[in-house]
């Protein structure tokens, strides 16, 4: 593979309505769309650190993208896909988002060249559909077939969250489950008390109830409740996954490829989780359809059966390309070569 050019397009897209978490409010999503051109194919990727969650800054990401762009300009020889991925990994040590975006673009082009969808290129034994969870918002009504709803917990008075879950459970039926995402907003005492109040409700798991580095307390909380405990912000790399396993701090891994790094890192984290009987959920980081498509193909390649966090496109006031329609609670993985992008509107261009 000879990479003829690499272009980086910064974007900033407002949310349709502000998204509130325990600690902050998101009004827009910013990042970079990557276009990589070989002699015959064009690959796309997205690099978009999420403020408050990612350990890197937008400048860290931009610097790594620019550094790889220089490598492309200086390297006009044919390299294998694996060699290019090795360059990316060595350059993007400080930016998991840049690594994920560049690897996506390289693998998009390579799978197109092979005439395979990205999921098929990654794994012969891949799923053709991936289940999704809903994300609660004002006026929320889940699509037919969605059996799990995620709720961002940002009420100071937890009784409001209890009433909301009770109300939704009554509306959606006894088989519907809920994931409560606390974004590290509780202390151990609050977490134990709140989990006790939730024991009788259909809770699938509590996501990041305690601050990311409080692994000992997360392990203690697991002993004090029957509700599964998921980690999100605590999970930023394979090394962090190993620490979580060692501390016995989680029942569920919520893996954000934009946060945890490249495709090989996600693969290693999933294999580690399977070895220790930890459930895995793959989810977007509220990015555009480019990043979500990459996460969809990754989830399919790993045959993830848990409902994944891929139905977030409605949060953005506009998008750069289309994401497959969700039907009966599942999204079908595109079978076209690569990511399956037929048309894209690049930021700052008339495309």
Low-confidence ranges of the chain (pLDDT < 70): 22, 155, 349-351
Could you tell me the residue ranges of all domains in the chain?
5-116, 129-332
What are 166-186's pLDDT values in tens digits?
999 999 998 999 999 999 999
- CATH pick for 5-116 out of 3.30.300.30, 3.30.390.10, 3.20.20.10, 3.40.50.300: 3.30.390.10
- CATH code: domain 129-332 is 3.20.20.120
| pLDDT score of 23 | 72
CATH topology identical between 5-116 and 129-332: no
The residues annotated as belonging to the active site are 152, 256
* Torsion sign over Cα 255, 257, 259, 260: positive
């Amino acid at each position: 593979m000879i990479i003829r050019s690499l272009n980086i397009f910064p974007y900033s897209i407002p949310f349709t309505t502000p998204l509130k978490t325990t600690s902050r409010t998101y009004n827009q999503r910013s990042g970079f769309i990557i276009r990589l051109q070989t002699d015959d194919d064009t690959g796309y990727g997205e690099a978009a650190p999420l403020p408050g969650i990612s350990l890197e800054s937008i400048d860290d990401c931009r610097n790594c993208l620019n550094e790889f762009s220089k490598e492309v300009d200086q390297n006009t020889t044919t390299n294998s896909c694996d060699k290019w991925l090795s360059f990316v990994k060595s350059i993007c040590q400080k930016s998991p988002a840049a690594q994920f975006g560049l690897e996506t673009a390289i693998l998009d082009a390579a799978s197109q060249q092979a005439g395979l969808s990205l999921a098929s290129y990654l794994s012969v034994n891949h799923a053709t559909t991936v289940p999704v969870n809903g994300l609660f918002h004002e006026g929320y009504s889940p699509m037919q077939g969605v059996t799990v709803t995620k709720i961002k917990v940002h009420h100071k008075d937890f009784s409001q969250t209890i009433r909301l879950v009770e109300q939704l459970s009554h509306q959606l039926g006894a088989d519907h489950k809920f994931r409560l995402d606390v974004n590290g907003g509780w202390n151990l005492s609050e977490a134990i008390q709140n989990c006790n109040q939730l024991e009788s409700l259909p809770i699938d798991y509590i996501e990041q109830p305690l601050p990311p580095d409080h692994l000992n307390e997360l392990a203690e909380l697991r002993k004090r409740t029957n509700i599964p405990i998921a980690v999100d912000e605590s999970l930023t790399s394979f090394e962090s996954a190993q620490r979580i396993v060692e501390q016995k701090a989680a029942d569920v891994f919520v893996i954000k490829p934009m946060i945890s790094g490249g495709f090989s890192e996600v693969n290693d984290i999933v294999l580690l989780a399977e070895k220790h009987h930890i459930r895995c959920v793959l989810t977007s980081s509220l990015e555009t359809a480019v990043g979500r498509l990459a996460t969809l193909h990754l989830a399919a390649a790993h045959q993830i059966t848990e409902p994944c966090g891929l139905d977030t496109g409605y949060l953005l006031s506009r998008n750069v390309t289309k994401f497959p329609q969700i039907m009966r609670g599942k999204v079908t993985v595109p079978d076209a070569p690569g990511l399956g992008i037929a048309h894209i509107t690049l930021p700052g261009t008339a495309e």
